[in-house]
Amino acid sequence: MKTISEHILDIVQNSVRAKATLIEIIVDEDKKNDIYTLIIRDNGCGMDEQTLQQATEPFFTSRNTRKVGMGLALLKQNAEQCGGKLELKSKEGMGTEIKAVFQLSNIDRPPLGDVWNSYYLTLLSYKKVELKYTHKTTKSIFEISSDDIIKMLDGMPLNNKEIKNGIIELIKNNLTDIKATL
């Protein structure tokens, strides 16, 4: 994966398959400690101890249509290549939290990428899941929740061009405002 936003698009679907109704995505740029963190937290079905142990194996998957499952393995590889690590926490029936830590200044750390597109496309596909995105920088913090967007739209279609562009602009402008590293 070339960008953090592609990892987000990918990993979030694990949460959707785990029947989560709330998915929180948090990107935290900690310049002081030179740490860049991506957290994806859900309230889905969670994993038992054994599944959790195998989850980052590239040839482990809970599906039976294919024999590989690269999503978490690639994120782990990316984090470790950037002097970081991947931490998984999960409790059956409670949910799962994935924390990928990167060295912020590492030359290999993937750029954030078009996280606004990842957010919009996920929102469009899974309207019933509450999708929260939080981006923290030393300057400030930006938060957005899909529930607020859906409520505000009040039945207007998400795929309308102006609305699509509006949502994307909103995220982009706010990220620029808080001086997020894009």
Q: Which residues bind other proteins (CB under 8 A)?
A: 1, 6, 9-10, 13, 17, 63, 65-66, 68-71, 74, 114, 117-118, 121-122, 124-125, 148-149, 152-157, 159-164, 166-167, 169-170, 173-174, 177
Q: Which is nearer to other proteins, 104 or 113 (CB)?
A: 113
Question: CA 90, 95, 100, 104 torsion: positive or negative?
Answer: negative
Nearer to other proteins, 5 or 37 (CB): 5
- What minimum distance in Å lies between the beta carbon of 35 and other proteins? 25
CA 77 to chain centre: 16
Smaller CB separation from other proteins, 11 or 104: 11
Closest approach of Cβ 112 to other proteins, in Å?
A: 14
Q: How far is the CB of 118 from other proteins (least distance, A)?
A: 7
Nearer to other proteins, 25 or 104 (CB): 25
Is 86 in a helix, a strand, or coil?
Answer: strand
Q: How far is the CB of 163 from other proteins (least distance, A)?
A: 6
**End-to-end Cα, the chain, rounded Å:** 16
User: Do 42 and 23 contact (CB within 8 A), yes or no?
Assistant: yes
Least separation in angstroms between CB 58 and other proteins: 10
How far is residue 182's CA from residue 173's CA, in Å, rounded to a whole number?
Answer: 12
b/e for 136-152, b at 16 or more Cβ within 10 A? bbeeeebebebeebbee
- Token pair in block for residue 177: 């405002």
Minimum CB distance to other proteins smaller for 105 or for 166: 166
